[in-house]
Amino acid sequence: MRRAYFNNNWVAALMVAPQLIIIFVFFYWPTSQAVYWAFTLEQPWGGGNTWVGFDNFRAVLGDPVYWQSVRVSIIFALSSTAIAMAMALVLAVFADRQLTGFKAYRIGMIWPYAVAAPAVGLAFRFVFNPNAGLFSYINSVVPDLWNPTLNGNQALLMVIIAGAWKLVSYNFIFFLAALQSIPRSLLEASAMDGARVLRRMRDVQLPLMAPTFFFILVINITDSFTDSFGIVDTLTNGGPARATDLMVYKIYSDGFRGFDYSGAATQSIILMLLVIALTFVQFRYVERRVHYT
Amino acid sequence: MNRTMTSVAALGVAALGAALLGSAAAAQATKFEYWYGLSGDLGEVVQATCTRFNESQDQYEAVCVGQDSYDAAVQNTIAAFRAGQHPTLVQSFDAGTADLMLSGEFYPVQQMMKDFDIEIDWSNYFPGIANYYAASTGELFSMPFNSSTPMYYYNVDQLTAAGITTAPDTWEQMEEAFNALKANGSACPMAYAPGVWIDMEQFSMVHNVPVASNDNGYAGLDTEVLFNSPLHVKHMENIKRWLDEGLLQLRTTQSGVPARDAFLSGECAIFFSSIADHATVGKLATEGLNWEVAMIPHYADYPRHNTVVGGASNWVLSGKTEEEYRAAAAYLAFLATPEEEEFFVSNTGYIPVTKGGYDALLAKGFYDAAPYKNRDLALKSLNFTPPTNLTRGIRLGGMIQIRSEWVNEVDAALAGQKTMKEALDTAAERSNAILARFAKTYEGKTFP
């Protein structure tokens, strides 16, 4: 295959410069700053800092509360990704089968993606409200069964559902596109061979959608780790008793609210390494099983 | 030159010219920025004081920018400060004090007023308020502004119906009232939201017990917290027991019905909050809700002491020009006049900060009739005893994180995951680690 290339490297550099500058200003510069802070104790108002070596990392990694936050974040990421992918797949299959009214339904499904995370949080705060919301009906049948303000597991469940709900529409778009790109002739041929709906799905559609699955998996997991802030902030504030204190929310509350810039920088570096590692693992091991056609 | 050009423009395009002239006139006034944290109704009142200041004279112009919350006001100011884009004045809450004091990046107001020959009678400030914002030498660092203190609000009709005719003064009487209310059929004697400010900090003040060593942190940075004392544990255990007995009902923002709303609708008979809520309760109470405020209770074994001021104060930041400081000083002096104090307290639930301001309001009979009736009980609570070393206030680094340790551990205990004693011990241990870290960040420095 013939490769296209520039004879003049300066033109090439000029072309990529805007992108590189943006990445430098919004990623490499802040990251290097955070790395520096992670090794010092930074005074919030400026005015100097002290070099402390790996003390910050020792403090963070030796803190059981931090590991609790890591645990909660992993549960959140895996559960909301699983729920969001499963729901989106089912919905996409329905849309793809062109049942009555599927066009309106298709548009309606895409809308939630345009809703900002804090708005999602506020909406779910009403839905899950134990005293006045939709879930209060549970309490009117079995008193005190549903109380996410005291029960940490229920609070986490609530955050997972809200997080998954927000991802569903994004996943839906990709799954629907993947389904629609599968040649009809393949499905018709397997139908002729006597394969029913579920069988066709398992043997034809799902394998052909594998690249999309992989893409969505990577995006969803990364998104759950880094973009869950708004939901937690409006829904639970990380409580009760740190049950929903996701890593990204803990960074915010320690750094911005608590003025512990160095502790928050340390946690940011760890979170970044974790997301890089997860993505690496996914590309190294999961992608091997994906076949692109 | 400027003027000629403006005139030419004015001749050319009349409308545009008028705008230019307007801005030319305004440019003569010294501008300074003021960032504040109050939002909603209260934020509008702050904005109104700025407008009143700008209209009262034409030398200075205050540009007032609302930041939506105390947290955000301080966070944004720090970010702006590091970039050299900070305001001259910022409204900072108690938890922001320690870092700001140790940074030294401020202009002490008392010094500033002296430098600009503005006469302020500092002895006119209530000691309970002034002490909180003062250096160890007694010099005021920031200007007391919106001041509050906690109270409890009660539904007079519901308490009377339950046979309680005087507002409970001690926790023992309070428990009797809870039981009487419950016996009278109330499903929610009190709406409770766990809050470290009232349940721990102000509670310690009223009982004259320490929150932390070193006189609550005032005397040094090598401080340890002491909020897991037997009295603190006993109180929180009582709260847990009352919750279990149904005397208290959990009503928080996260649960959808905040305590105040549960009180306003008449569902719950009692709730604790800042006096700053007084105006809001008056405005939003359902028709016919007969309510009153009272000082927060104490245990009978401990004589009552003063509560401490909450709210925020105005800080002048370093790195500005003399002209900007002159303008800011004029604004702060304007806020300190009795007329402006009256404007501010009558439009919010806050209390006056000067004796003169209070006396002027008393003379007018301001606190005798609705909607301001008995709001000055908050002042009585603040001035109940002269402040002691333990009731002057709390000055801890990492205050916000310490508060959140307390809240998280108490949450765990209220959910039954551990005993209250274990919870407070853990919170104290973790808070001490935060304090040690803070002391290390500011190694070699002391509170001025």
With tokens 């880094």, the residue in question is A226
Of A35, A31, A15, A13, the residue nearest A23 (C-alpha): A31
List, for residues B347-395, the tens digit of each pLDDT value: 888 999 999 889 888 888 888 887 888 898 999 999 999 989 999 999 9
pLDDT along chain B (448 residues), means of 10: 43 43 58 92 92 93 93 92 93 88 91 92 88 85 92 95 94 96 94 94 96 92 95 97 94 83 94 91 87 96 94 93 93 91 89 89 86 89 92 91 93 92 96 94 86
Whether A49 contacts A43, CB under 8 Å: yes
Task: Report chain A residues whose CB lies below 8 A from the CB of B404.
Answer: 253, 257-258
Distance CA B79, CA A33 (A): 14
Task: Report chain A residues whose CB lies below 8 A from the CB of B409.
Answer: 241
A62 at the B interface (CB within 8 A)?
Answer: no
At B316 the pLDDT is 95
Distance CA B3, CA B173 (A): 74
Contact A130 B255 (CB under 8 A): yes
Average pLDDT of the segment spanning A111-125:
83
A86 at the B interface (CB within 8 A)?
Answer: no
3-state secondary structure of B267: coil
3-state secondary structure of B209: coil
Rounded to the nearest 5 degrees, what angle is found at the Cα of A114, between the Cα atoms of A113 and A118? Answer: 95
Mutate to test the interface with B, among A131, A134, A137, A147 (most CBs of B within 10 A): A131
Q: Which two tokens stand for residue A82?
A: 């699983």
Q: Would you say residue A186 has pLDDT above 80?
A: yes
- List the beta bridge partners of residue A50: A41
A46 at the B interface (CB within 8 A)?
Answer: yes
At A2 the pLDDT is 63
Contact B440 A129 (CB under 8 A): no
A33 at the B interface (CB within 8 A)?
Answer: no
- List the beta bridge partners of residue B33: B63
- Cβ contacts below 8 Å, chain A against chain B, sum to 106
Distance CA B139, CA A121 (A): 46
A48 at the B interface (CB within 8 A)?
Answer: no
Mutate to test the interface with A, among B82, B249, B254, B402 (most CBs of A within 10 A): B254
Task: Report chain B residues whose CB lies below 8 A from the CB of A126.
Answer: 256
A235 at the B interface (CB within 8 A)?
Answer: yes
Chain A (137-166) residues lying within 8 Å, Cβ to Cβ, of chain B: 147-152
Task: Calculate how close chain B gets to A30, using CA atoms only, in Å.
Answer: 14
- List the beta bridge partners of residue B314: B91, B143
Task: Calculate how close chain B gets to A25, using CA atoms only, in Å.
Answer: 15
Of B133, B77, B129, the residue nearest B105 (C-alpha): B77
Distance CA A158, CA B168 (A): 39
Task: Report chain A residues whose CB lies below 8 A from the CB of B78.
Answer: 44-45, 259
Q: Is the ipTM of this complex over 0.85?
A: no
Q: Which two tokens stand for residue B334?
A: 């304007």
pTM across the whole model: 0.85
Bond into B303 cis (ω within 30):
no
Confidence of residue A132 (pLDDT cuts 50, 70, 90): confident
- Per the rule left: phi > 0, alpha: psi between -120 and 50, beta: everything else, B107 is beta
At B24 the pLDDT is 46
At A85 the pLDDT is 95
At B199 the pLDDT is 96
Distance CA A233, CA A217 (A): 24
Q: Which two tokens stand for residue A245?
A: 């204190």
At B329 the pLDDT is 94
Whether B389 contacts B426, CB under 8 Å: no
Which of B404, B414, B440 is facing A150, going by the closest CB pair?
Answer: B414
Task: Calculate how close chain A gets to B418, using CA atoms only, in Å.
Answer: 11
Which of B415, B440, B442 is facing A150, going by the closest CB pair?
Answer: B415
Query: In this structure, are strands B89-93 and B190-192 parallel, antiparallel, or unpaired?
Result: unpaired
- List the beta bridge partners of residue B31: B61
What is residue A78's DSSP assignment? H
Q: CB A202: neighbour CB atoms within 10 A? A: 11
Of A69, A35, A58, A77, the residue nearest A269 (C-alpha): A35
Task: Report chain A residues whose CB lies below 8 A from the CB of B256.
Answer: 125-126, 129-133
Whether A175 contacts A212, CB under 8 Å: yes
With tokens 């274990």, the residue in question is B422
3-state secondary structure of B147: strand
Q: CB B326: neighbour CB atoms within 10 A? A: 18
What is residue A46's DSSP assignment? S
